[in-house]
Amino acid sequence: MSFRTPFHDLLSPQGALRQAYYGSEPLILRQAASVEGLPTSAEIDRLIDASLLRWPYFTVFQDGVRPEQAEVTTSRSLLGHEVDGFVRPEGVRRQLAAGATCKLSQIEDWHRFTRDQIDELHELFPAEVTAFLFLTPEGKRGMLPHRDASRVMVIQLEGAKEWHLFHDPAHENPDAGLDVDPATEVGSFVLEPGDVLYLPHAYGHAASAVGQTSLHVTFTLSEPTPDALVDALVAEWIDAGRLAALNEDAPLGATAKLHAVADDLARFAVDTGSLVTRALADGRARDLS
C-alpha cells in the first residue's frame, strides 16, 4: 500500500492494533497516529453552514437525548420537489452552544483519506468498518455509558476527551445497549490529539470533552452476525443449484419440504472462508448504499 494511513504502522504484523484486535483488553497508545489529513472542526463548520448534509448523515444529541428534528433539519426545493432532512445551520449552532454533540456518520463516503484507512482495515480484518466524527463542547458528553456491538478504534483529533470504561466479566453482553452499570467502571483517562484508543467488542464506555471543544474520529469494526452468516449460507446453497434441484423433485407436503431443505442444508459443504467473505461483501455493500 503506497499511502500511509494513520493506523498504518500500528497494523503491521507486530503492530499494537494488529495484536490487540482479537484480545479482550482495551489499549491506549499515546501520540501514536498523525492527525494530518483527517477531518477538522473547520471542515465540520463548513459542512454545517454550506453543504447538502442530510439526516441521518448527521445527528445531534446530549446525554443521548436528541432535539426535535425540526430544530436541526429543514427542507429544500430540488428540481421542483420539496426534500426534507437537510441541515439547518442555525438550529445545529444553537444546540452546540447549549452543549450538544454533533455526530457525522459514514464520513468515508465523502472524505477520501478516511476511506483509505477503512480500505486498509478491510484488507486485514473480517469486519464491516465505518467511521464517525464526534464534535463535543467543553464539559459535555453526547452519549450515556453504552456498548457498541463492534470493536472500536479512536483517534483524538482536536481538544481532549475524558473516557470512562465499564466492564463486568460476569455479565458480558455482546449486543449494543445502554444497560451499563456505573458501578462496573474499571478506569478513566484523557485522550489528546494523536492518541489512539482500542476497545474490544461491546466494551462499555462514555466520554466527555475537557478543557475545550473536542473532536475525535471513531472507526467501528463489526464482524458478521450469526444472522448474516445464515443469509450467506442460504445464498451459497441457492447459487449451488440445490434449491432448484429440490423444486424439481416430486411434489411434497409443507412438512416434508421443510425436512428436505433442512437435510440438504446439513449435507451442504461450504468453504468457511468464502462464506465469511460473502457475508462481509453483503454488509459492506449496505455500508456504501
Q: How many residues does the chain have?
A: 289
| Cell matching residue 79 | 428540481
pLDDT by residue (tens digit) across 136-149?
A: 999 999 999 999 99
Q: Scanning the structure block, which residue is given the C-alpha cell 453526547?
A: 142
pTM of the model: 0.87
Closest to 63 measured CA to CA, from 198, 209, 195: 209
Which residues are CB-neighbours of 148 under 8 A, at least 6 positions away? 176, 199, 202, 220
Which grid coordinates belong to 206? Answer: 462514555
Kindly report, residue by residue over 51-102, the tens digit of the pLDDT: 889 999 999 999 999 999 999 999 998 888 999 999 999 999 999 999 999 9
CB 87 within 8 A of CB 43: no
Alpha helices in 58-170 (DSSP H): 69-72, 89-97, 112-124
Is the pLDDT at 227 greater than 70? The verdict is yes
Question: What's the CA gap between 140 and 160, in Å, rounded?
Answer: 12
Three-state DSSP class for residue 59 = strand
In contact, 273 and 280? CB cutoff 8 Å: no
Q: Cα-atom radius of gyration of the chain, to the nearest Å?
A: 22
- Work out the percent of the chain whose per-residue pLDDT is above 90: 71
